Amino acid sequence: MAIYSTTEQQPPPTDTGGFITWFRENLFSSWSNSFVTLLLLYITLPWIWDLLSWTVFDANWIGTTRADCVKEGACWVFIEQRFGQLIYGFYPQHLRWRVDIVFALLALSIFFLVLPQVSSTIKKYLGIFVLVIFPCISFVLLHGGVFGVTEVETHRWGGLMLTLVLSFVGILLALPLGILLAFGRRSKLPVVSSLSIVYIEFWRAVPLITVLFMASVMLPLFVGGDINLDKLVRALLGIIMFQAAYIAEVIRGGLQAMPKGQYEAADALALTYWKSMGLIILPQALKITIPSLVNTFIALFKDTSLVLIIGLFDLLAIGQAALSDPQWLGYSSEAYVFIGFVFWAFCFAMSRYSIYLEKQLHTGR
């Protein structure tokens, strides 16, 4: 029988929780870690302080002209003076209430669509409203020309309004086309699948700038007769054809992720191809792919800034135009920081929502 000798009982660790322990474990756990922490603090703290003082503490918020920017920091007076143009573009000032109504409707519907407490039947009706009724209302309000509403031509649209119109209409019309292409790619008919594959691979291979150039320069040549296509319509056509290819790939991923049992069950119920796709497969596939669709929307939202190249005045282009005003030379940083913040706020919110959706759908299944 072995004889065991007891060792000294060690005192308990001094702390297992609390502030100091967190510091020790996460920031200073080893020599290299401590070095990295100190280096990062040395680099980032002065930089953050400079940024804050430029943006907030030393900035000029009040005034009307360039002479009011006396402090060293950012001259937000410039942005305040140009705010109307940045948001509404060249829309006539007395008619801007129409754009406000469209913005408010969009914001409210998206708010209620996103809120988790809202029941899913209400969300379904809200979805149909956003996809079908809202575009008609916003066309009447924004463009006018029908029902006795004053017409505002599209070359007066600009700024944030134009960016939202381009992205929203782009996704709205690219979605059905993308769904058709996704089905076409998976089809057993060789002609349909090859046409879909050629379309998808072509539009995914070319940069968006060449597509916009093609739409604005070549499209008038292909359309016969005296049809003069609006510049905005040309850009929208290019964007829609381009986005449809990316949406087709996203939906194809969703269709592939569906268990084969669904397809087989639909066949067992003797449903025709279109009925089984429309009633059984597509609703489930769309539900799975909504996070990826939101990511596609974020990419489109950022890419609409490229219409600057073909002469449309989206948010970034209006900012560039504002910078060439001789009264406000030299304030390029303010313009870019503001425009960047607007884009960042939209895209960050959407990406957070898509992460939230992904978590919901995972636990839900």
Residues that bind other proteins (CB under 8 A): 26-27, 29, 33, 36-37, 40-41, 44, 188-192, 195, 201-202, 204-210, 213-214, 217-218, 220-225, 298, 302-303, 305-306, 308-309, 316, 320, 323, 332-333, 336, 339-340, 343-344, 347-348, 351
How near is the Cβ of 348 to other proteins at its closest, in Å?
A: 5
* Total Cβ atoms within 10 A of residue 247: 27
Q: Name the residue nearer to other proteins (CB basis): 142 or 306.
A: 306
The CA distances from residue 334 to 27, 216, 318, 326, in Å, are 35, 31, 14, 16
Distance from C-alpha of 307 to C-alpha of 81, rounded to nearest angstrom: 24
Beta carbon nearer to other proteins, 115 or 206: 206
CA quadruple 206, 190, 248, 356: dihedral sign: negative
Q: Which is nearer to other proteins, 48 or 122 (CB)?
A: 48
Cβ closest to other proteins, residue 271 vs residue 286: 271
Closest CB to other proteins among residues 332, 360 = 332
Tell me the closest approach of the beta carbon of residue 97 to other proteins, in angstroms. Answer: 29
Least Å distance, CB 337 to other proteins, is 9
Least spacing, CB of residue 62 vs other proteins, in Å: 24
Per-residue b or e along 255-271, where b marks 16 or more CB atoms closer than 10 Å to that residue's CB: beeeeeeeeeebeeeee
DSSP symbols for 49-101? HHHHIIIIIT-B-S-SSGGG--SSS-BHHHHHHTHHHHHHBT--GGGHHHHHH
Tokens for 217, please give them. Answer: 């320069």
| 85 or 351: CB nearest other proteins | 351
Q: How far is the CB of 350 from other proteins (least distance, A)?
A: 9
Q: 281 φ, ψ to 5°?
A: -75, -50
| DSSP secondary structure letters along 290-346 | HHHHHHHHHHHHHHGGGGGGGT--BHHHHHHHHHT-GGGTT-HHHHHHHHHHHHHHH
Rounded to a whole number of angstroms, the minimum distance from the CB of residue 178 to other proteins is 18
* Cβ closest to other proteins, residue 284 vs residue 320: 320
Q: Which is nearer to other proteins, 78 or 134 (CB)?
A: 78
Distance CA 33, CA 307 (A): 46
Q: For residue 301, give every residue at least 6 positions away whose Cβ sits within 8 Å of its Cβ, in sequence order, or none.
A: 163, 167, 343, 346, 347, 350
How near is the Cβ of 353 to other proteins at its closest, in Å?
13
**Shortest Cβ 299–other proteins spacing (Å):** 10
